[in-house]
Amino acid sequence: MPDHTLLLQIVRVALDVPVRHLFDYRVPDHDQLSTADIGYRVCVPFGQRQMVGIIVELAAASELPLAQLKPVTVVLRDLPRLPAAWFRLTEFCAAYYHAPLGQVMLSTLPAGLRSPAPAKARVRRGKVSAALAQQSPILTIEQEASLRAVAEGAGGFRAYLLHGVTGSGKTEVYLRLIERTLAAGQQSLLLVPEINLTPQLEARLTARFPDAGLASLHSELGDAARGRNWRAALTGAARIILGTRLAVFVPLPQLGLIVVDEEHDSSFKQQDGIRYSARDLAVFRARDSHILIVLGSATPSLESWANATDNAGGGRYRLLSLQQRAVEAARLPLVRTIDTRVDKPVDGLSRALLVAIEERLARAEQSLVFLNRRGYAPVLACSACGWTSHCHRCAANLVLHLADHCLRCHHCGFEARVPKYCPTCGNQDISAFGRGTQRIEEALTEHFPRARILRVDRDSAGSRRQWEALAARIEGGEADILVGTQMLAKGHDFPKLTLVGVIAPDSALFAADWRAPERLFAQLMQVAGRAGRAERPGEVLLQTQFPDHPLYDAVVRQDYPAFAAAQLRDRQQAGFPPYTYQAMLRAEAPRMADALCFLTAARACSSPNEEHRVTFYDPVPMRLSRRASLERGQLLVESSSRRTLQRFLRHWVSQLAAIKLPSRLRWHLEVDPLEF
């Protein structure tokens, strides 16, 4: 145990700057610090400004003379100090993802706590009510079995993979586990991949545990609300924390349970800044804190499935299964394919799909037409000269958004007015090619002029408030036909929805990204699960040119284990994760030659004794080779050993920092990349 009475003269502080070391400061003359002060925020001078940092350690000596060290301006003791478990989590994140410790630590704090002003810590401690406000539903046999299995593993770290078909009652299992955790006087952390999944969960948690103290943490909260909820978690006033990926870092002094819902979702992986996986950090946090973690999904990631079922996984996770829908009258939907080579779509809609929608309209039931492409059309083109609406800043097309009368790049956000004639040859006969949700909405309006059609995508529901308004209309029966993207594919329960039609899924079958089949299967199973969740039977129609493809066969049979087994066999033969471990070095610069030159130099600076255990691939342009006027390249590194790869990366990153960079070239390293 550290000696809290030992007074030291030098404090080491983590700051939000892109360097990989701590900064030494002198303890101010008017204050005395000991190791008991580790974890407090401090305000310190840095250059010409004051910055907030975190005390990481105290020392008796520095590499610099004491007289040259600047003094700490003030120690901020307005909040409890950050706990040791939080330090271990952020230190692991910085080490595993090879990011500066100060940036990791400070980026996890709410914006208000990164400013020199003291926090305002007025929070009320929640109490667990003796009687729950909402009556708990009767559990199914499978739910009871899952809860018994988790109870057997209580008292230490154990990871469970809860594989449950859509509508099988995974959320009820979560709620029962949270109930147990509250009764034990501990806090629960529930992670979800997207903001749009929080409203229904917030409502259920509040109804079930009205006095427990629920704190939500996600990007649409204002700074004040986020700071308030974060402080409630730190002080223990909030007993249940519901949040998106950044919430994995919230300090919780009495954490007893972590749940990761939709654990397969790529939204748990941060794609800029510090590129961490919240799911993987959640597993580390549970192991480090000796508590239970439950990962839930209808379509688990293949990495998690291998950990639960494959010999290579070593039995890291215990598999729990929910194969029946929780509502007694509800059955899994009937899934069938429509061969678009025979039933040729008109305006994107096959005859069979139109007939099925018409039948639902006659029965006052809802239909969902799913197309994972927003906008009106992917591209505007001239048939005379071949001009296309290309983004001049990105290697991508400008998407036609007819409702907004603009062309918009979905990568950099650039917008332009829709031209009245071809900018190249002056031809007035320019046409939209392909279909997005707006164009399908238009076609459905022509086919069913009296139907109430509601489009749900990022254009119509860009904020949580907009989504909640649309969801209320759907649940209230104010829409007959929904047209939507993946925003509607998961986590939502619309009892009147009995038909799902899927348009144009085939492109993912032959994508260059070897993860594309896994994503497509998950997407199709998730959107299929929206149909028939109550007593009315559901049906799913997949429009495809390849009805006999093995992936669609698995979707029709709704057989995730068979699909996962086939995919894992393919990956093992090809040497892909989870049977190998990867890191991706990416570079961007105004010229592609500069980006590739840096990557080539990076490859050359690897140490010879590591080459036989670490495999380098050639530097190549990224699939989206230009974004926001910057050319982008990548270099893939892999190894059959995670430990070997990490050891190499630690050495390599220090060498990369010594490479002289051209002007405006930036690089970053991503461990366990998802995008290729």
Q: What are 391's two structure tokens?
A: 């983004």
CB neighbours of residue 336 within 10 Å: 13
CB neighbours of residue 260 within 10 Å: 29
Q: CA-CA-CA-CA torsion for 349, 355, 358, 364, nearest 10 degrees?
A: -110
Q: How far apart are CA 249 and CA 87, in angstroms?
A: 10
Which residues, other chains included, contact 447 with Cβ-Cβ below 8 Å and sequence gap of 6+? 349, 354, 357
CB neighbours of residue 446 within 10 Å: 9
Q: Is the dihedral of CA 446, 452, 455, 459 positive or negative?
A: positive
Q: How far apart are CA 324 and CA 165, in angstroms?
A: 7
- Which pLDDT value is given to residue 671? 97
* Fold annotation for 581-671: Alpha-Beta Plaits (3.30.70)
Tell me the average confidence (pLDDT) per consecutive run of 10 residues in the chain, 676 residues long.
59 94 89 88 94 94 89 92 97 97 96 77 45 73 95 89 93 96 96 84 92 90 90 96 96 97 95 95 97 96 93 77 81 93 96 97 95 91 93 94 91 93 92 92 96 91 82 89 86 85 91 90 92 85 96 96 95 94 97 96 77 86 94 96 94 91 94 90
What SS3 state is found at 506? helix
Q: Does this chain's domain 141-322 share its CATH topology with 581-671? A: no
Which sequence spans correspond to the domains of the chain? 10-82, 141-322, 334-377+434-570, 581-671
CATH of 10-82, one of 3.40.50.80, 3.55.30.10, 3.40.250.10, 3.40.1440.60: 3.40.1440.60
- Which pLDDT value is given to residue 131? 37
Q: Phi and psi (nearest 5°) for 582?
A: -130, 155
**What is the rounded radius of gyration, in angstroms, for the C-alpha atoms of the chain?**
27
Q: What are 533's two structure tokens?
A: 């969740």
**CB contact at 8 A, 132 and 208:** yes
What SS3 state is found at 35? helix
Which residues, other chains included, contact 74 with Cβ-Cβ below 8 Å and sequence gap of 6+? 28, 42, 43, 116
∠ CA 603-608-614, nearest 5°, is 65
**CB contact at 8 A, 261 and 173:** no
**CB contact at 8 A, 313 and 307:** yes
What SS3 state is found at 26? strand
* Structural domain 141-322, CATH architecture: 3-Layer(aba) Sandwich (3.40)
Which of these, 575, 549, 577, 573, lies nearest to 563 by C-alpha position?
A: 549
Which of these, 242, 279, 276, lies nearest to 107 by C-alpha position?
A: 276
Q: How far apart are CA 514 and CA 563, in angstroms?
A: 15
Q: How far apart are CA 595 and CA 598, in angstroms?
A: 5
- Which pLDDT value is given to residue 461? 81
Which of these, 12, 9, 116, 103, lies nearest to 73 by C-alpha position?
A: 116
What SS3 state is found at 73? coil
**CB contact at 8 A, 633 and 599:** yes
Cross-strand bridge partners of residue 34: 7
- Between the alpha carbon of residue 284 and those of residues 178, 189, 551, 572, the distances in Å are 20, 14, 33, 25
Tell the residue number behind the tokens 């899952």, with chain if given: 146
Which of these, 424, 534, 438, lies nearest to 484 by C-alpha position?
A: 438
Strands 187-191, 240-243: pairing kind:
parallel
Q: Phi and psi (nearest 5°) for 471?
A: -60, -40
CATH of 334-377+434-570, one of 3.90.1660.10, 3.40.50.720, 3.40.30.10, 3.40.50.300: 3.40.50.300
Burial class (CB in 10 A: 0-12, 13-18, 19+), 604: exposed
Q: Phi and psi (nearest 5°) for 449?
A: -65, -20
- Please name the amino acid found at residue 298: A
- Which pLDDT value is given to residue 125? 43
- Which pLDDT value is given to residue 172? 95
